[in-house]
Amino acid sequence: MNFKALNAAVVICGALVCSGAGAKELTIGFSQIGSESGWRAAETTVSKAEAKKRNINFKIADAQQKQENQIRAIRSFIAQGVDAIFLAPVVATGWNAVLREAKEAKIPVVLLDRDIDPSGKDLYLTAVTSDSVHEGKVAGEWLVKAVGSKSCNVVELQGTVGASVAANRKKGFEQGIAGHANLKIVRSQTGDFTRAKGKEVMESFIKADGGGKSICAVYAHNDDMMVGAIQAMKEAGLKPGSDVLTVSIDAVPDIFKAMAAGEANATVELTPDMAGPAFDAIIAYKAKGTTPPKWIQTASKLYTGADNPQAVYESKKDLGY
């Protein structure tokens, strides 16, 4: 890459987002997890659009949920000599060897939407993620308020086993309900962030409960699993959104559709635009040597039925997820 030209272009574009000529020559590889959820598909769509805005040559490798595919993709990006690698790590552990290879090849790595084990902290440049403990906490605190003083059996649908966001959202929710002995998590199992598994696991919870009548609330680590759980509850003759409270994470259009129909209660938004801030960090790093903060935190926002879910659905539905 012609760094001199890149530098000059960055100076010319000044305080504006340095897209166009300044970023033209960058090639970035993205090891994406797969398309397990609507949110994930949206992240891929938004990443492509953000790359296009900045004239970045963007290569996406879909790992179909498998860490070994992600490792293979990273090695291939290293062999191609890309300027940077984005990684959405399916699980938190097992990355150090391949990230060390990237570091030795002087290719900066940016984590998107999930973290890795702290032992790998020196092996990536920055992580663009939300505070996923906070997301779980917000969900738990919302439920505490919604339930009031009545006793409430909660069932939990966890994300992918070993994923940082699954562990954090569990921990945060437990913090959110801590000190409220009337709320109890009675069952908790992974639904792997997918609609199909969310439905399947919810069916098993309902069966184990002898019909689901003692389930007061469902907490799901993402909206897709909740959409599956809502289906399972309806098929079992339960009324999600009224008899059974729901709270989940992502804020994808379909959960707003369910909220507008009175079948879901709350969601915590996770922006699908993780790549935009990551591109900007890499452009500044490559052009001016600006080291980004170790954590670029994205915002989280709670939505409930009071937020005009139909209007939110209309505003989000064309975003491609």
| C-beta atoms surrounding 182 within 10 Å | 13
- CB–CB of 218/157 below 8 Å? yes
Minimum CB–partner distance for residue 163 and ligand AHR (Å): 7
HEC letters along 29-87: EEEECCCCCHHHHHHHHHHHHHHHHCCCEEEEEECCCCHHHHHHHHHHHHHHCCCEEEE
Minimum CB–partner distance for residue 165 and ligand AHR (Å): 4
Specify the stretch interacting with ligand AHR by CB under 6 A; choose among 34-42, 55-63, 257-265, 312-320.
34-42
- Pick 25 or 117: Cβ nearer ligand AHR: 117
Residue 266 parent element (H or E): strand 266-270
250 binds ligand AHR per the rule CB under 6 A: yes
Specify the stretch interacting with ligand AHR by CB under 6 A; choose among 33-41, 76-84, 173-181, 196-204.
33-41
63 binds ligand AHR per the rule CB under 6 A: no
- CB–CB of 2/25 below 8 Å? yes
Minimum CB–partner distance for residue 37 and ligand AHR (Å): 3
Site string for ligand AHR, 203-242 (x = CB under 6 A): -------------------x-x------------------
Minimum CB–partner distance for residue 34 and ligand AHR (Å): 8
Minimum CB–partner distance for residue 61 and ligand AHR (Å): 17
Specify the stretch interacting with ligand AHR by CB under 6 A; choose among 15-23, 37-45, 92-100, 287-295.
37-45
Q: Which of 165, 167, 259, 312 binds ligand AHR (CB under 6 A)?
A: 165
- Pick 222 or 265: Cβ nearer ligand AHR: 222
247 binds ligand AHR per the rule CB under 6 A: no
- CB–CB of 97/123 below 8 Å? no
Q: At what angle do helices 67-80 and 96-104 cross, to 10 degrees?
A: 10
Q: How far is CA 233 from the centre of its chain?
A: 25
The b-or-e profile of 83-102 (16+ CB within 10 A means b, else e) is bbbbbbbbbbebbeebbebb
126 binds ligand AHR per the rule CB under 6 A: no
Q: Which of 249, 266, 283, 287 binds ligand AHR (CB under 6 A)?
A: 249
The first and second tokens of residue 68, run together, are: 């070994």
Site string for ligand AHR, 42-61 (x = CB under 6 A): --------------------
Q: Which of 113, 115, 254, 269 binds ligand AHR (CB under 6 A)?
A: 113
- Pick 40 or 197: Cβ nearer ligand AHR: 40
Dist. CA 249–CA 138, nearest whole Å:
10
Per-residue CA distances from 118 to 121, 138, 164, 248, 294 (Å) = 5, 24, 11, 27, 12
Strand 266-270 with 300-304, pairing: antiparallel
Size of the site for ligand AHR (CB under 6 A): 13
Binding site for ligand AHR (CB under 6 A): 36-37, 39-40, 113-114, 165, 193, 222, 224, 249-250, 270
